[in-house]
């Protein structure tokens, strides 16, 4: 049984072969990965890359101050808003009149 501190999924399991020929599992910290857009997968600008930086900053500095900041990139946000406006604000019976 592994030690409880190593059971966390925040640690990456890496298989290593020792000089004696045994195969053992080492537990390593995961690498910092940049935050990505939830829709297209592009790297988000305005969001710190390193986990240490993210932990120390206040919530307002961790993401841009706009709708879906830190979740969607600006291009995707623009597209989502256009779709929303087209679907909800333009009524389907605007051209016909009832008499």
The CA angle 37-42-43, to the nearest 5 degrees, is 85
In a domain, 18, yes or no: no
pLDDT of residue 54: 83
Asked if pLDDT for residue 85 goes beyond 60, the answer is yes
Q: Is residue 14 part of a domain?
A: no
> Does residue 39 surpass a pLDDT of 80?
yes
Q: Tell me how far apart the alpha carbons of residues 73 and 49 are, in angstroms, rounded to a whole number.
A: 15
What domain count does the chain have?
A: 1
| Full-model pTM | 0.61
Which domain range does residue 80 map to? 32-90
Residue 20 has pLDDT above 70, yes or no: yes
More confident residue, 95 or 54: 54
Inter-residue contact 77 to 67 (CB < 8 Å):
yes
- pLDDT of 1 higher than 60: yes
Q: pLDDT category, 71, cuts 50, 70, 90?
A: very high
């Amino acid at each position: 049984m592994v030690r409880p501190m190593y059971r966390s999924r925040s640690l990456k399991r890496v298989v290593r072969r020792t000089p004696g020929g045994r195969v053992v599992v080492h537990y390593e910290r995961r690498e910092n990965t940049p935050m990505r857009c939830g829709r297209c997968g592009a790297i988000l600008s305005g969001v710190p890359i390193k986990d240490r930086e993210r932990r120390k900053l206040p919530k307002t500095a961790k993401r841009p101050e706009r709708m879906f900041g830190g979740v969607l990139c600006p291009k995707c946000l623009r597209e989502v808003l256009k779709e929303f406006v087209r679907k909800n604000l333009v009524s389907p019976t605007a051209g016909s009149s009832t008499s």
